[in-house]
Amino acid sequence: MRLRKVYHRFSQFSLSPIPTPFFLHNHLPKSLSSSSSSSLLLPLPKPIRNPFRIRALHSRTCRTRNKYSCLKATAMISSSSRFHNLVPVNAVVREDGGDSNGSVSSSSNSDPTATSATAAVDEELVANGYQLPPPEIRDIVDAPPLPALSFSPQRDKILFLKRRSLPPLSELARPEEKLAGIRIDGKCNSRSRMSFYTGIGIHLLNDDGTLGPEKEITGLPEGAKINFVSWSNDGRHLSFTVRVDEDDNSSSKLKVWVADVETGKARQLFNSPDIYVNTVFDNFVWVNNSTLLVCTIPLSRGEPPKKPLVPSGPKIQSNEQKSIIQARTYQDLLKDEFDEDLFEHYATTQLVLASLDGSVKPIGPPAIYTSMEPSPDEQYILITSIHRPYSFIVPCGRFPKKVQVWTADGRVVRELCDLPLAEDIPITFNSVRKGMRSISWRGDKPSTLYWVETQDGGDAKVEVSPRDIIYTQPAEPLENEQPIVLHKLDLRYGGISWGDDSLALVYESWYKTRKIRTWVISPGSKEDIRPRILFDRSSEDVYSDPGSPMLRRTSAGTYVIAKVKKSDDEGIYVLLNGNGATPEGNIPFLDLFDINTGNKERIWQSDKDKYYETVVALMSDQKEGELCINQLKILTSKESKTENTQYFIVSWPDKKPCQITNFPHPYPQLASLQKEMIRYQRKDGVQLTATLYLPPGYDPSKDGPLPCLVWSYPGEFKSKDAAGQVRGSPNEFAGIGPTSPLLWLARRFTVLSGPTIPIIGEGDEEANDRYVEQLVASAEAAVEEVIRRGVAHTEKIAIGGHSYGAFMAANLLAHAPHLFCCGIARSGAYNRTLTPFGFQNEDRTLWEATTTYVEMSPFMSAHKIKKPILLIHGEEDNNPGTLTMQSDRFFNALKGHGALSRLVILPFESHGYAARDSIMHVLWETDRWLQTYCVVNSKEANAVPAACTENVSKGTADSESKAVSAAEGVRELEDQQEITLYYSRRSSLW
């Protein structure tokens, strides 16, 4: 998806306000549009022996547990797709492994056939070595997911996009090529591990807000896997891709299908059976209501290149020019000439114009096209491609990039830029690529381009004014017509919300100071109207966040700032949609804001006493021009501590809500769980917050303290005041994802979720210089609070986290062993010398801050860890910095000092865990660890209860020697795929 469309989607629905557009602009990877984070179904391969590598050490004795096998499961997968009108149904699990907002819709399964099938799968799963958590946890994870929702451009219909639950491990085992920072499924010629929808239902949205009966899309092949659902601009057709896994192992490549929304009938777009979609980068886009531009696999393409048995020569990299090139620990990079050829084979696309009547016209030469963006007036297409020379040290987003303007029928109008290879982008925050960037069409014009050019060479350390300049120019400028300077910025450009010739909002920000500004400009005014600052604030100060402007859809399908008129009032009003952060928690709001005077009127606000309700979308934007305040209509999501999210239509002037969904409670067995947002203080005076969860029916005065699981993720701040601000709402529904710590509420644990762990560096001080000190102080305050409340047993408090949270957990066991009885660390990094060119929010190198790198690394303090620690890691981790080697080496260091530790390597899993087999086993490992070292909490911590070891040891006698051998060896890791997390702030790859 192009960044403009991503930004518009998020702004339009204001899923959260955009107080820091820079972060949004630089954080959203293009893979957002390609459903590339999940899995594909495939025929079951032969069982793979010993896919898990488990290493355990109990009191200086290494005891391997089991050998595991790959097996078939009937789990389902979730999905995502590309279109503006997607409404999230709370199905996203946070990166840190904490709370999601509930990805399941029901924990009961009334179908006896399905229950029997699940039992059979579970029996096979256990027989092959994977383990199952207790039923009270398993039932929650296995519940079916909610559908995703999408509104039509005219807001008169809703799609229910149906999904599966967790995929079987066999899907993750499908072969994939790791090339240039991405992972490719060669059989499908798509990103690997793609999720999919299983069906599409269409509902009419009646005038009274009720939904009509479902109309199912028909004509699809049995077992169709649906991706990239997109509305035509007139709302009459849907386009999407379909793939089917063939029994005869023939191609399961994607084909474009279209469906008539009125009849629900679907058909293939291409008459030829030999035309397939190439979705490695982009896929297809509506050029107009009857034509799509499709990325196809070239018909002339042959078989993939074969890797030579004998290399043509040594692999050589040179820096004889003495260039300063600092790169992150990117994964899945190209390694040699063969990889370069293989990357070109799969990524090369032939663009094709395809009409609904079946006519097909190839346009342009085959190339690696990464994005296609039609102009609002449908006359031009902005085409981006990448080309050689490639790089072995950075991913494909930094390869040489060419941007051209084509006519809608494929004629090249002009070349905007051809950017060279960008290996030398500094690692400093706010550093970007040299040359033109963020090139896109203005949403308020038929065919006018805009872009940004840095004036500091892309290096944030260079002091210069201005730092960025925004330009605009017609698609086909007149002879000698130069680009117009739209605005100059002293901070880093962060995006534009277009309105019309009299109004646009420009965002800039600077991470080092956390400063963010919003400018008001008049992009087309002939008068000399100077830009002015509308908001100038700290991005950390959530209490001062004014909200972000709501966008309306134009007839051309673009999104611009919604202007609102009041009767007998000449003012220019916009709608600001905000989270409404307060010391009591978030109270979302909608303000009517006068751009000229700055006056605001609160026209809607969430019920702060019981409910948490947010504005999701503007529903009254079907007509051009200004919106009348008395005809305003919005879509909201509403939830409470015990009521899961439902969607409502709220209409003016009476503002009476009309409920349009009625999703069942996702886990009724935890419907009466207790949730409280608590506040407490760190010893240095910093205010901290956390969400305290207690099991249903629990009474501290009668039941006494419980075992407690603390799960968190540190964050960096520049001020104590900002660090102490409350984020989140006490009324939000307790969403539970498949690996959420909240699952242990079903096991009668107290769960302290997300206690703030602020690492503060005020003034010239860097936050990480006192990382350990502040980390321990925050943990001490959290532990003291749950003990003071009488809900946690002093000697039965466990610490856990995922990714940077795992790093936190390991450090706390090393430096605060008095606080916790055991720890769980998933997919973390433990030795910062292995990420020498910065990590997380640290942009100094190892050589600039050697002491910080060493003192922050729990690897260097492995000899201090005396409490039991469980390490879990995906074998195919593709996140920069968290190579699987991090857990391997940390475990060896722990073992070398006799620490009670266990390492579980999940085959085929990436940074987050996807397969049902893996997730169930992770939950079993975690529950076993907590029951053994937290609930029982033997002071000796040597013996494992027989009930815990019965399933672990059976059937392993013939494999223990192999597992021990694997445990003692040092693995050679393949390069793995980059996932843009915090690191994408540091450079604009696209």
What are the E-state strand segments in 33-117? 53-58, 61-62, 86-87
Nearest CA-CA partner of 979 in 891, 854, 876, 905: 876
Q: What pLDDT score does 835 carry?
A: 94
**Burial class of residue 153, CB neighbours in 10 A (0-12, 13-18, 19+):** buried
The count of C-alpha atoms lying within 13 angstroms of the C-alpha of 630, restricted to the half-sphere facing its C-beta, is: 3
Q: What pLDDT score does 661 carry?
A: 93
Q: Which residues pair with 658 in a beta bridge?
A: 649
Q: With both helix axes pointing from N to C terminus, report the angle between 771-788 and 804-815 in degrees, rounded to the nearest 10.
A: 80
Q: What pLDDT score does 19 carry?
A: 28
Nearest CA-CA partner of 889 in 811, 967, 976, 835: 967
Distance CA 556, CA 541 (A): 37
Q: What pLDDT score does 360 carry?
A: 96
SS3 for 658? strand
Q: Before 583, cis peptide (omega within 30)?
A: no
> How far out from the chain centre does Cα 768 lie?
25
Scan for tokens 């996807």, then name that residue: 914
Q: What pLDDT score does 951 carry?
A: 39
Q: What pLDDT score does 248 carry?
A: 52
The count of C-alpha atoms lying within 13 angstroms of the C-alpha of 795, restricted to the half-sphere facing its C-beta, is: 8
Supply φ then ψ for residue 352, to 5 degrees.
-135, 130
Active-site residue, 975 included: no
Active-site choice (25, 793, 802, 911) = 911
What are the E-state strand segments in 672-791? 674-681, 687-694, 706-711, 715-717, 750-753, 758-760
Distance CA 680, CA 785 (A): 7
Start-to-end CA distance of the chain, whole Å, equals 11
Supply φ then ψ for residue 682, to 5 degrees.
-80, 160
CA distances from 14 to 8, 572, 588, 626 (A): 9, 21, 11, 19
Active-site residue, 911 included: yes
Q: Please give the mean pLDDT across all residues of the chain.
A: 84
Nearest CA-CA partner of 256 in 223, 295, 222, 290: 295
- What lies within 8 Å, CB to CB, of 736 at 6+ separation is 99, 100, 102, 104, 140, 666, 667, 670, 742, 743
Q: What pLDDT score does 250 carry?
A: 56
The count of C-alpha atoms lying within 13 angstroms of the C-alpha of 151, restricted to the half-sphere facing its C-beta, is: 28
SS3 for 773? helix
Active-site choice (99, 122, 339, 877) = 877
Question: What does the H/E/C string look like for 802-847?
Answer: ECHHHHHHHHHHHHCCCCCCEEEEECCCCCHHHCCCCECCECCCCC
Q: Which residues pair with 646 in a beta bridge?
A: 638
Scan for tokens 């306000």, then name that residue: 17
Q: What is the pLDDT of residues 236-295, one digit of tens each?
A: 999 999 999 765 555 789 999 999 999 999 999 999 999 999 999 999 999 999 999 999
Residues in the chain with pLDDT values less than 70: 1-117, 124, 127-128, 246-250, 938-990
Q: What pLDDT score does 114 carry?
A: 59
Scan for tokens 């069409």, then name that residue: 441
Q: Order of strands, edge to edge, in the sheet holding 237-243?
A: 225-231, 237-243, 255-260, 266-268
Output the six-digit token pair for 195.
């999720």
For every residue of 453-490, DSSP letters joined together read EESSTT-TTS--SSSEEEEEEESSPPTTPPPEEEEEES
Residue 798: enclosing H or E segment and its boundaries?
Answer: strand 792-802
Active-site choice (14, 440, 497, 803) = 803
Distance CA 497, CA 753 (A): 35
Q: Order of strands, edge to edge, in the sheet holding 182-185?
A: 177-179, 182-185, 190-191
Active-site residue, 251 included: no
Q: What pLDDT score does 91 carry?
A: 29
What is the phi-psi region of residue 765: left when phi exceeds 0, alpha when psi lies from -120 to 50, beta otherwise? beta
Longest CA–CA span in the chain (Å) reads: 85
Q: What is the pLDDT of residues 119-144, one digit of tens each?
A: 777 776 776 678 999 999 999 999 98
SS3 for 438? strand
Residue 886: enclosing H or E segment and its boundaries?
Answer: helix 884-896
Q: What pLDDT score does 865 carry?
A: 98
